[in-house]
Amino acid sequence: MQVIIQKIPENLQEFEVLAAKGQQPECICALFLCALALFERDKEAGTAAMNLLRGPKPMTPYDCQFLRDRLRGKSYLPLAYFEGATPGNNYQPRVPYILNVLADPRPQDVEPGYLRVFLTTSGADSPRPMKLRQKVSTGEWFLWEYSSILSGIRIPVAEDSWA
């Protein structure tokens, strides 16, 4: 599954416009990376964007602190999963932004109502999982588990004193 984004939203209004274009699981993954980039620039707008993606389970103060901790000093992380982003080019992806979302090779291991997908980055040796949850009454998909996406990846060459 592939998602193409022409522009990373710079504010909550742009994020909401982009989010209105699709709520399929692969779109939620791309929107999550956009929400992280927004959170990096504006914590309040980024939190509101994350709340849209999380649906009935809004961000807690702990969740916000978790994002702050994981993104601290890693402003490159949100864009590192888009095509063309490498440590060598300081994780600057090609435009338009293309995200490849890989299907779960073992979907039988995930309970009904949930979907696990994987994202790749050249900054890690293996794909990273994300989990989405479906709201039964509406059929909508929401962000559920994403901590692996925020795990450390290779630092950009510009920040690597050993490069």
- The first and second tokens of residue 43, run together, are 């914590």
End-to-end CA, the chain = 34
Report whether pLDDT(163) > 80: no
- What is the pLDDT at residue 14? 96
Q: Give domain status of residue 162, yes or no.
A: no
Q: Give domain status of residue 14, yes or no.
A: yes
- What is the pLDDT at residue 138? 92
Q: Give domain status of residue 105, yes or no.
A: yes
Report whether pLDDT(23) > 90: no
Q: Give domain status of residue 160, yes or no.
A: no
Q: Give domain status of residue 101, yes or no.
A: yes
Nearest residue to 81 (alpha-carbon basis) of 117, 51, 50, 52: 117
- What is the pLDDT at residue 106? 84
Interval 48-104: pLDDT, tens = 999 999 999 999 999 999 999 999 999 999 999 999 999 999 999 999 999 999 998
Q: How many domains does the chain have?
A: 1
Q: Give domain status of residue 109, yes or no.
A: yes
Q: Print the domain residue range for 97.
A: 2-154
Are 135 and 56 spatial neighbours (Cβ–Cβ below 8 Å)? yes
pTM value?
0.94
Q: Give domain status of residue 161, yes or no.
A: no
